Structure 1
Amino acid sequence: MSENAGTSTVIVDKTANAAPLGFTGLGLAAVLLSLSYIGVYPVESMIVSMAIFLGGFAQVFAGIMSWKKGDIFAGTAFSAFGLFWFSLAGLLVMPAMGWASPSSGIAMAAYLFTWGVYTFVMLIITMKIGVRALQFVFVTLFILFMLLAVVNATGNAGLLVVAGYVGLIMGLGSMYTALAMVMNEIHGKAVAPL
């Protein structure tokens, strides 16, 4: 019989909450992309870089870290939306490199509409979670995807500006969520409402 029979080992999970990283990646990438929709600057390498490194990697890392902690919602949402940003960067870069033809407006509309449907289902799930800041991010993200789908289907430039402002609001809401989570964790109490 082993000397350790009857004893148990307790493993304490000291990994941090990955959600602030995921919301930071979403927020920063969305704000900067939305400013291009509003007309502040064109879609250039800065947008592609933010899509890959903040929107993509930050959210995928947050998703993987959330899976490890057993958080199926955050693991799924951050991983999926991180991969969205990688796919968006691919849609911009692959035609420029001659690897694929540019997507048609209707193809982009289908892409964005599909992401909008996915976001809507995730929004319904946030109602059970009950965190208002999370619900705000998903409501505005859903509206953004649907507006962008219509813009790509119709070519309505005025609606693109409206989508840009919705994206800006969503991105700022996402950054608020990230920073509120960090602030509340550091202070050990609810300093910033979520």
Structure 2
Amino acid sequence: MSTSSSIQKTNTIEKDSAKNVETVLFDQDYITLGGRTYRRDDLLNALGPQHASAAYPQSTHRKLANPIPLGFASFSLSCLTLSLCNANVRGVTNVKLLISLFMFFGGAIELFAGLLCFVTADTYAMTVFSSFGGFWIAWGCINTDQFHSISAYSDDPQMLNNIVGFFLAGWTVFTFLMLMCSLKTSWGLFLLLTFLDLTFLMLCIGSFIDNNKAKMAGGYFGILSSVCGWYCLYYCVVTPENSYFNIKPAMMPNSPV
């Protein structure tokens, strides 16, 4: 479009703007004012940059909350309570009361935290939290009478021990793989997964050989794992704005952070 035609179009717009406009029609490319049609971009440029910016607002980036502390919280509480029972602390071995904790807080909430890590593009955290969320749901179902998981082996207790051993062996392997992927993260996460892998290993061995002392050892390792989880939870949420007791995560050698 030439300079003269641009001036002519601008004058036309100003002239029409002074009239009593009765009809305004517009679509993505054109605007019709009082029976005259104009290009949308030309009209907005003629009215001034402030109108153009209002018509095409800039997109804003929303800052998302960090879901990792939620995953640590759900894991640590569930792991602590189950491990106390496995270690026979104060003679408690029946976990029936904790099934709701395993399935909802340890399971559903941790799974939810893992899915939120998908939104934040954290593949490792998504894999760890979502997987262990599934573990807690599965463990809760195993101990729920309505699923008849344990009663189905009432006539063969050794087979029950073996199948539980298979279940725990799989989680031992998975935890070891996640442990290998934490060698350049924080000491808190590394120790959490180290103790957790030992927990699964000892519980697995205890199930295969039906040895209560091995299961108790797994319980003690689980308590240590949960303590590391509490530590990770705290340093993820504490800030100078919300606490006087600030700590920074102890990072491992060659950590990129």
State the TM bucket, normalised to the shorter chain: 0.7 to 0.9
Q: Who is 2:135 aligned against?
A: 84
Match of 1:27 among 70, 73, 76: 76
Q: Who is 1:107 aligned against?
A: 163
Which structure's relative contact order is higher, taking Cα pairs within 8 Å and 6+ residues apart?
Answer: 1
Give the TM-score normalised by structure 2. Answer: 0.68
Q: Who is 2:102 aligned against?
A: 51
Task: Give 1:43 shift.
Answer: 2.4
Aligned mates of 1:135, 1:186 — CA distance in 2: 28
- The structure that has the greater radius of gyration is 2
Structure 1: stretches of 5+ with no match in the other structure? none
**Does 2:117 correspond to 1:117?**
no
How many corresponding residue pairs? 190
Percent identity among equivalent residues?
A: 24
Task: Give 1:154 shift.
Answer: 0.7
Match of 2:232 among 177, 180, 190: 177
Structure 2: stretches of 5+ with no match in the other structure? 1-28, 30-39, 42-51, 154-158, 250-257
* Partners of 1:33 and 1:43 within 8 A in 2: no
Greater helix content:
1
* Partners of 2:141 and 2:147 within 8 A in 1: no
1:179-194 to 2 correspondences below 5 Å: 179-184=234-239, 186=241, 191-194=246-249
Aligned mates of 1:115, 1:98 — CA distance in 2: 21
**Does 2:182 correspond to 1:126?**
yes
Q: Who is 2:67 aligned against?
A: 18
Aligned mates of 1:19, 1:153 — CA distance in 2: 34
**Does 2:85 correspond to 1:36?**
yes
Aligned mates of 1:147, 1:30 — CA distance in 2: 15
Task: Give 1:106 shift.
Answer: 0.8
Aligned mates of 2:67, 2:118 — CA distance in 1: 10
Aligned mates of 1:22, 1:186 — CA distance in 2: 22
Are the structure 2 counterparts of residues 77 and 150 from structure 1 closer, same or farther at C-alpha, using a change threshold of 3 Å?
same
Match of 1:165 among 220, 225, 230: 220
Q: What letter corresponds to residue 224 of structure 2 in structure 1?
A: I
Post-superposition CA distance 1:90-120 (Å, at most 9, x none): 1111xx2264424711111111011110111
- CA-based RMSD of the aligned residues comes to 2.4
Aligned mates of 2:60, 2:161 — CA distance in 1: 52
Task: Give 1:176 shift.
Answer: 1.6
Task: Give 1:26 shift.
Answer: 0.6
